[in-house]
Amino acid sequence: MNSDFSVLESLVPDTLKVFRQRYLVLEQISLNAPIGRRNVAQSLGLSERNVRTETEYLRKLGLIEIKSFGMFMTEKGKKVLEDAVPLVNRLFNEGNAEIKLAQKLGIERTIIVPGNGDLQDRVYEEMGEKLSSALNLLLPLGHSIITVLGGVALAKSARYLSENLDNNRQLEFVPGRGALGENVAIQSNTIVQEMAARTHGSYKTLYLPEQVSTASYRSLIREPVIADLLQDISRSDAVIHGIGLAHDMARRRGYDSMRLSELRDKKVVTECFGCFFDGNGQIVDRITQVGLQFESLDKIPHIFAFACGSRKAEAIEAYMPNAPHQTWLITDEGASNKILKGK
């Protein structure tokens, strides 16, 4: 964002948020007309009440019409939407590669930092700074709950969140899953503490095994402390998660050689939220986990997928057909170039 827009963001941060939100509502109506408020809300991860307020305002401006069978654009609305595209791209720093990558993956936005995380550690610093800027743009003022899952990339980038994120905000970081029995430094519990410390926020922890039996899961979620944490997760304003390589994640979860062989037979590529996906984006294996459930993502307003390095390109492509539209991918040139070139 250039200096003029940065000043605007500092003085009236809600202005950019409202502008972006109304643009996205218009875009959804343009792409899917006639469409109802509920479908727009689900596509953007907004509440129906929020969408009702925005669409009524857009109707009064003469940009859309609302009928019993759905909403659609007026000619004036089409022109305004067309004229807004260059401004949106300038405001939110979208380059051509970022636009193409988001379109190819079918998600709202991608942010690409220079370099290749497989070779250069500085990539993690830039990704952390980009995540911080995105959170500053999208999070509401006041209290916000941010659910965080673990992983190497997030662990390396968490220290680069800006302390300015707490301006007019009370941030609460919660872990999206239990422990994997792995390196403590890359677990959700550790990362939420780092993020809270950087932004003067608060945090909660979940010191339980991530992978449990179905019977244990049903028992655990009735425990008051666990139930309270799960309620926080369900009310999250944002989720930040990694995209894991399937066999790496399986080993971290203690899969034996037989189960690893089964995963190879099923041609699994990636793992997210306890789900293992093949190259076609199909779930081919799953664990019962305490924490954020894959099916709950559609209800979260803002989702940030965090993955970098050329070796993660195939994993990113395998997961993204399942990602909610409101997902923002923060990645690097190592992964993005490989995806865009189709290699």
- End residue of a domain, out of 40, 63, 90: 90
Residues 109 and 175 in one domain: yes
Per-residue model confidence (pLDDT) at position 16: 77
Q: How far is residue 281's CA from residue 297's CA, in Å, rounded to a whole number?
A: 16
Asked if residues 169 and 139 have their Cβ atoms less than 8 Å apart, the reply is yes
Least confident of 5-19, 85-99, 166-180, 248-262: 5-19
Per-residue model confidence (pLDDT) at position 171: 96
* Number of domains within the chain: 2
List all residues 6 or more positions away from 141 whose beta carbon is below 8 Å from its beta carbon. Answer: 13, 14, 168, 169
Residues 76 and 132 in one domain: no
Per-residue model confidence (pLDDT) at position 318: 94
- Residue 1 clears pLDDT 50, i.e. is over it: no
Residues 311 and 258 in one domain: yes
Residues 165 and 310 in one domain: yes
Q: Which domain holds residue 79?
A: 3-90
Residues 30 and 101 in one domain: no
- Residue 3 clears pLDDT 60, i.e. is over it: no
- End residue of a domain, out of 70, 90, 110: 90
Residues 17 and 120 in one domain: no
The first and second tokens of residue 265, run together, are 């037979």
Q: How far is residue 54's CA from residue 67's CA, in Å, rounded to a whole number?
A: 16
In this prediction, what percent of the chain has a pLDDT beyond 90?
A: 46
Beta strands in the chain (DSSP E): 64-67, 70-73, 109-113, 142-148, 169-175, 202-203, 238-242, 244-245, 268-272, 275-278, 283-286, 302-306, 327-332
3-state secondary structure of 241: strand
* Residue of 94 and 191 predicted with greater confidence: 191
3-state secondary structure of 105: helix
Residues 209 and 291 in one domain: yes
Per-residue model confidence (pLDDT) at position 183: 62
At 88, is the pLDDT very low, low, confident or very high (cuts 50, 70, 90)?
confident
* Interval 199-226: pLDDT, tens: 999 999 887 765 666 677 677 777 788 8
The first and second tokens of residue 121, run together, are 């550690």
On average, the pLDDT of the chain sits at 86
Residues 71 and 206 in one domain: no
The first and second tokens of residue 78, run together, are 């089409």
Residues 211 and 310 in one domain: yes
* Interval 302-332: pLDDT, tens: 999 999 999 999 999 999 999 999 999 999 9
Per-residue model confidence (pLDDT) at position 283: 92
| Domain containing residue 17: CATH number | 1.10.10.10
Per-residue model confidence (pLDDT) at position 37: 92
Residues 25 and 159 in one domain: no
Does the pTM surpass 0.85? The reply is no
Per-residue model confidence (pLDDT) at position 228: 85
| Domain containing residue 274: CATH number | 3.40.50.1360
- End residue of a domain, out of 60, 75, 90: 90
Asked if residues 333 and 114 have their Cβ atoms less than 8 Å apart, the reply is yes
In this prediction, what percent of the chain has a pLDDT beyond 70?
A: 90
Residues 36 and 174 in one domain: no
Residues 243 and 295 in one domain: yes
At 27, is the pLDDT very low, low, confident or very high (cuts 50, 70, 90)?
confident
* Interval 47-62: pLDDT, tens: 888 899 999 999 999 9
